[in-house]
A and B are shown apart, each in its own frame.
Chain A
């Protein structure tokens, strides 16, 4: 067992345990903090996969923005931050069964696939470099249209979020 495999196993176990905590902790603030830990594990896996730029974006977007937004929303909706409420609904048992079925059927489907045990080839020179990703994002031969659509989507979501959360006097909120 090589050091890199041990690193993978440690990071993966850490993230999965944190993810379980995210979906089971009664206190929502704790769940949000476990979400930070799980996101950090995923960022570490991006580094192992040779995508350091995505790892940085993962830390900035998930830990810096999404987790903080969630914590703020939890604090604005105070009653649910307390511990004494039941955290799962009546279908929790079925949900667990369904999740287990999905996991094992994914394993069975993937296990029958030829490239399931594939090993990574050599990375072509320059493909770890963020410059290659940046060029692909703005090159007209590649992904400039999805890139622009994503920026419009972000702007629309920004305006939409402000409009939805605006405290309007007409609505009596």
Chain B
């Protein structure tokens, strides 16, 4: 299984903190997001990606605690038992 966690505004938008999906061999973060969007009733992909499928600034995506910016971005491959976290941190102070 892959555990997906939603934080802050994403949690509020989706009205849930987490979801577990079966792992699919070779699946990437981008493919997981597309699968999530089909499964969840609330549109959320537009908060993460632009029309060309590139990430907006704002929400960080961590796979097993590591930001995908420092992995393979949206093409980061996922494996069984991975934890994917999505979090739009606050910038003010």
Q: Do A and B come from one complex?
A: no
